[in-house]
Structure 1
Amino acid sequence: MIALIESMLLTRTLPAAEFDLYFLGGQSNMEGFGKVDELPDSLAGRLPGVYIFHSPAAADQTAASGEGFWTILQPGHGTGFQIRNGVNRYSDRFGLELSMLHALRKANPDREIAVIKYARNGSSIAINAAGRFGCWDPDFHAEEGLHRDVNQYDHCLATIRNALADVDIDNDGIDDTLIPAGIAWMQGESDATIDLETADAYGTNLKRLMDLLRAALHQDDLPVVIGRISDSGNNPSGKVWTHGDALRQKQQAFVEGDRCAELVISTDEYQYSDPWHYDSEGYIDLGKQFAAAFERLQNPRGHRSVRVD
């Protein structure tokens, strides 16, 4: 499969338009719970020059279809986004993609952008933390069932494969070139709920998964931006993610050990719409922080965990 993706990335017919390609993945805070009706006017419309291929979240043990198609970015790619009868059904929610892509487009107005999004609410990397929400470990499989070997990683690869199979994403009749530019990853909460051993294994699990995603996009040093998990404290015990502090340390260790990765730490400052998800202002700021991190990684100055105002 990786060889096929490599061929799709490198084999293009000239002349071609060039797009910076980003992959967005993770769990619910990547899906996005911001409210579209709370967006400022500057983020409320379509964004010319930015195209998104968004495959709706799918459960493990279901066929990995990677359903989707390229469209111009607009609000509604948050949780609840669906595709029905070949038509996007936009939700009333948004994620960090809006402000991130607006910021990247503003910083590089001469560069067009393509983004592939696949995220699944509640999904884990650790196999023992998967529960009913799914798992990103390629080796995860169910004990029985028609699609017992299909997991979140399979859904992700199917999404990437289908997105790259379209050689003319803007439908102008000319083949396009997609240049891998970064991976945005917002996930880890589910891995912080089981036990300390699972949280401590997160760094190793995260590195393996990011290495696999970089391989799928055919670039070993592809910039990776990780969003640090945070805790609303909206739980009788005082913590929603019991082992969140331990997992945060592993997120920090990952970026410190990877010269092409950065950790966004602004999440501690956000308000919440429920015990698990940020409010609309939080998602807007989170996207800006991700964009700024990508800018730094693409023009390195030694940053690892910072925020911008």
Structure 2
Amino acid sequence: PSEMAKPLTGIYIFHGNPSADNTAVDGRGIWEILKPGHGDGFFSDGKTNTLSGRFGLELSFAQRMQELQPTESIAIIKYSRGGTSIDTAAAGEYGCWDPDFQQGNGINQYDHFLAAIKYALSLEDIDGDAEKDTLILAGILWMQGESDACFGEEIAQRYQVNLKRLMDLIRAAFLTDDLPVIIGRISDSGQDPSGKVWPQGEIVRQAQADFVRLDGNAVLVTSTDNYGYSDPWHYDSKGYLDLGRKFAESLYNLLTQKR
């Protein structure tokens, strides 16, 4: 949409550079005004960002949050690498978030994420006005699980335990045990001869629902079942834009309930 094709005034993003498992700890980035290009192909060397031709849910999420809270300043910390699992056994070529990862040099997505958080929080002047800014943590946005549904049933059955532990550790990294979590439910395009791209998808979907039900401070976004696809694995642009808005509305409603 044309209204998202330009920088979004008053909204800042720190996008940690995504790196593979078994590489040096990364997460480099800078704070800058949010604009399109923080999708697949994005790169940062910690001094400048190289934007890509793609975007994630951050665009419509930020815009909708700004509509819902027009007097608030918005800052987003993003770390994301496509195709990653939580379970080490499902990492494949993309990597995993298992906090106990011990393969190779022991560095994985969880380590890159923690580094990105450290970099983001170490910078006191986010908007460049020479005044110290204070970040007030609002929530975690998590759209993941397809790779954990791609292999055997045993891996998928571990997803709820893996998800809970990872969310607990991410909350601990932010020193906020009850930090809201918004989960995007995985869905299946059906664009596979078997009829299912994610063979264990129903198990992971149930695990996501069970996590939210038991957590008490989490919401499951289920609109993903209605989205179109640009290929067997990814939603189309219309879907990503709606997903961002649904994440924003879910987070806003959860925060409002807590007040």
Instruction: State the TM bucket, normalised to the shorter chain.
Output: over 0.9
1:243 aligns with 2:196: no
Take 2:215 and 2:99, find their aligned partners in 1: how far apart are those partners? 22
Indicate the SS of the match to 2:138: strand
Residues 99-129 of structure 1: CA distance to partner in whole angstroms, max 9, x if unpaired? 0000001111111011111111111101111
Which residue of 217, 220, 223 corresponds with 1:263? 220
Q: Structure 1 residues 84, 218: closer, same or farther in 2, change over 3 A? A: closer
Residue identity in the other structure for 1:54? H
Distance 1:169 1:64, change over 3 A: same
Task: State the AA in 1 paired with 2:169.
Answer: L
- 2:162 maps to 205
Q: Deviations over 1:161-193 (max 9, x none)?
A: 000010111111111100110000000000001
- Residue in structure 2 matched with residue 86 of structure 1 by the alignment: 47
Secondary structure (helix, strand or coil) at the match of 2:93 reads coil
Question: 2:19·2:26 contact (CA, 8 Å) conserved in 1?
Answer: no
Distance (whole Å) between structure 2 residues aligned to residue 263 and residue 58 of structure 1: 28
Alignment pair present for 1:77 and 2:34: no
- Whole-Å separation in 1 of the counterparts to 2:198 and 2:26: 32
Which residue matches 2:101?
Answer: 140
Match of 2:2 in 1: 41
What amino acid does structure 2 have at the position aligned with 1:191? D
CA drift of 1:84 comes to 5.1
In the aligned structure 2, how far is the partner of 1:156 from the partner of 1:87? 19
Q: What do residues 67-126 of structure 1 show as CA deviations (whole Å, max 9, x unaligned)? A: 100000001101111125832111110111100000001111111011111111111101
Aligned partner letter, 1:268: D
* Pairwise CA RMSD: 1.2
Structure holding more strand per residue: 1
Query: Quick one: which of 64, 67, 73 aligns to 1:106?
Result: 67
2-structure distance, mates of 1:87, 1:258 = 38
Deviates more, 1:83-92 or 1:212-221: 83-92
Task: Decide which of 231, 239, 254 is 1:274's aligned counterpart.
Answer: 231
Give CA-to-partner distance per residue, 1:26-48, whole Å, 9 cap, x none. Answer: xxxxxxxxxxxxxx112221111
Matches within 5 A, 1:1-309: 40-83=1-44, 86-142=47-103, 144=104, 148-300=105-257
Structure 1 segments, 4+ long, off by >4 Å, are: none
Q: CA offset at residue 208 of structure 1? A: 0.4
SS at match of 2:188: coil
Please give the secondary structure, in 1, of the residue aligned with 2:139: strand
Identity of counterpart residues, as a percentage?
56
Where in structure 2 are there 5+ consecutive unaligned residues? none
Q: 1:78 & 1:107 partners in 2: Cα distance? A: 24
For the Cα contact (< 8 Å) 2:227–2:239, is it kept in 1?
Answer: yes
TM-score, with normalisation over the residues of structure 2?
0.97
CA–CA distance in 2 between the matches of 1:82 and 1:121?
13
- Aligned-pair CA distance for 1:238: 0.4
The aligned amino acid for 1:286 is L
CA shift in 2, pair 1:196/1:70, >3 Å = same
Equivalent residue letter for 1:105: Q
Structure 1, residues 47-76: CA drift from partner, whole Å, max 9, x if none? 111110002210011111221000000011
Aligned residues: 258
Give 2:70's aligned amino acid.
P
Q: Summarize deviations over 1:189-240 as a string: whole Å, max 9, x none.
A: 0000111121111111000000001111111111100000000000000000
Task: Provide the secondary structure at the position in 1 that maps to 2:18.
Answer: coil
In 1: Cα distance, 2:206 partner to 2:106 partner:
31
Normalised by the size of structure 1, how large is the TM-score? 0.82
For residues 260-299 of structure 1, the C-alpha deviation after alignment (integer angstroms, 9 at most, x for no partner) is 1000000010010000000000000000100010011102
